[in-house]
Structure 1
Amino acid sequence: MSEITVRALTEDEWETYRTLRLEALQESPEAFVADHDTEAAEPEEFWRARMERSVRLVAETEGEQVGVVSIGSVSEDKGETAGQLFGLWVNPQWRGRSVAANLVRQGARIAADQGLRHLYYWVGSDNGRAVAFASSFGFRPTDDRRPMRVAGVDGEAEEEIALVMALGEDRA
């Protein structure tokens, strides 16, 4: 099995992030709020600003970039010690080969190193696979729900659930 490495991208690697993000939007449009064509038209300044707002992690193996995830602040009032994992995407050819697991583990390490005590992850409440995946890392469901910002496959509005994971030594 190929070794998977995960590293944080620098601001100067905005083009790498842009490439992965656009690939994700094209391959899995239903998983993201954004639109591929809209983001593809954005200038360099847009992408550099994104790099400053959150930590962007890339998974690499066999000389290619195969996955991405972001660690950022929580938009809701969860306190200064909470962060958010978002934008998780793995190239379909690499799914089921621990790429996502490596991205989540490294994201949790970085969040803990930043002094965060909790990491939130929003998933579709009907997405049992994503809920099970997140639960395997210690994410637990909360009472927080929100309408998904994209319609479901059948065109009906779905709901997202906030999962939270405690970071650090006291994982209670």
Structure 2
Amino acid sequence: MNATNDITVRPLGEDDWQDYRSVRLAALRESPEAFVATVEQEEAYDEDFWRERMQRSARLVAERAGDAVGVVSVGAAKGSENAAGELFGLWVRPEARGSGVATRLVKDGASLAAQRGHTHLVYWVGTENGRAVAFASGMGFRPTDYRRPMGVVSEEDGEEEIAMVLPLGSDNGPLLRL
């Protein structure tokens, strides 16, 4: 395994839409069950769609030796009146899992959310995904009472996601309302 110090994380701007498209499509191909969209749907989207998507949320890509090995997005959490950011679309190439890529992406995503003035960072995790819940807990996210149906097709009807929240900055304030 490579050490985390050979991983770089960089924000993608609107003009980097092709870089984001490439890693997003790789994620959809490799882990289709983890996303609401399908690779076929997103392959059909034109440049204008991708550029607009780049403006809606921040996109961070993790690279090792110039190759994209992971991605995450950071936006404003719905219904939080901009108090909370939301971390979503976290994906790491299978060969890079366990090497610190996800940790770097989440840390950089949390830093970006704090820079944008968010007091908390929300991360929705499948309640049945023990590895993801453990990872989020290890990063300092704490579970809330908020649940929602899984946005992706699962073999088990009724599977849920839990909102896990990471306080940002020195004034963590009360837990947010979603």
| Shorter-chain TM-score tier | over 0.9
Deviation sequence 1:34-86 (CA, Å, 0-9, x none): 111011100001100000000000001122110000000112x2232111000
Letter in 2 for 1:59: A
Q: Say yes or no: does 1:27 pair with 2:35.
A: no
Q: Work out which of the residue numbers 57, 61, 72 in structure 2 matches 1:58.
A: 61
Letter in 2 for 1:103: L
SS of aligned partner of 2:45: coil
SS of aligned partner of 1:151: coil
Letter in 1 for 2:170: E
Cross-structure match for 2:126: 124
Q: Say yes or no: does 1:159 pair with 2:160.
A: yes
Query: 1:148 & 1:88 partners in 2: Cα distance?
Result: 16
Cα distance, 1:171 vs structure 2: 4.4
- Structure 1 unmatched runs, 5+: none
CA contact (8 A) 2:28 2:38 kept: yes
Letter in 1 for 2:77: V
Letter in 2 for 1:163: M
Deviation sequence 1:106-155 (CA, Å, 0-9, x none): 00001001111000000100001001100111101111101012222x35
Query: 2:96 & 2:40 partners in 1: Cα distance?
Result: 25
The percentage of counterpart residues that share the same residue type is 58
SS of aligned partner of 2:152: strand
Cross-structure match for 2:109: 107
Cα distance, 1:156 vs structure 2: 2.6
Query: 2:105 & 2:151 partners in 1: Cα distance?
Result: 24
155-164 or 14-23, larger mean C-alpha shift: 155-164
Letter in 2 for 1:7: R
Poorly superposed stretches of 4+, deviation over 3 Å: none
Cα distance, 1:157 vs structure 2: 3.3
Normalising by structure 2, what TM-score? 0.92
CA contact (8 A) 1:9 1:56 kept: yes
Q: Say yes or no: does 1:14 pair with 2:13.
A: no
CA contact (8 A) 1:150 1:157 kept: no
Query: 1:13 & 1:45 partners in 2: Cα distance?
Result: 13
